[in-house]
Amino acid sequence: MLDLKEQNIKLREEARSLQEKLSLQSKIAFEKGVYWIEEDEMTKDKTKTPICPRCWDMDKTVVRQRIDMYGIYGNVNGFECKNCGKFFEVG
Ligand SMILES: [Zn+2]
């Protein structure tokens, strides 16, 4: 009896993590050269946060970024990923 119960819990956990991956994928969209994740759990209202396209494509890892101004004239919007060190222009 206990074995079945444990098995049940394990299966449920597996289903849950699979569902989490799927729901994560559905929250991510490609736009303006990078990926954006739609956040609602953390902020409670829906905002889009840019994430590193390289880290997402290669490892399916969400690395949130903050867009800053770059370039000599400060006219390039983008971010440098702290995980992989690559620079991405947004816009
Ligand atoms: Zn990265």
pLDDT per residue rounded down to tens, the chain (91 residues): 679 999 999 999 999 988 888 888 899 999 999 999 998 766 667 789 999 999 999 998 999 999 999 989 989 999 999 999 999 999 8
Structure tokens at 78: 């983008």
Q: How far is the CA of 77 from the centre of ligand 1 (A)?
A: 16
Of residues 61, 60, 59, 56, the one with CA closest to residue 88? 56
Structure tokens at 64: 């949130």
Q: How far is the CA of 81 from the centre of ligand 1 (A)?
A: 5
Q: Measured between alpha carbons, how far is 47 from 39 in angstroms, rounded to an integer?
A: 5
pTM for this one?
0.73
Which residues, 6+ apart, have CB-to-CB distance to 66 below 8 Å?
Answer: 50, 79
Q: Measured between alpha carbons, how far is 91 from 36 in angstroms, rounded to an integer?
A: 12
44: phi then psi, degrees, rounded to nearest 5: 75, -25
Environment of ion ligand 1 (residues, CB < 5 A): 52, 54-55, 81, 83-84
pLDDT of res. 91? 87
Q: How far is the CA of 87 from the centre of ligand 1 (A)?
A: 8
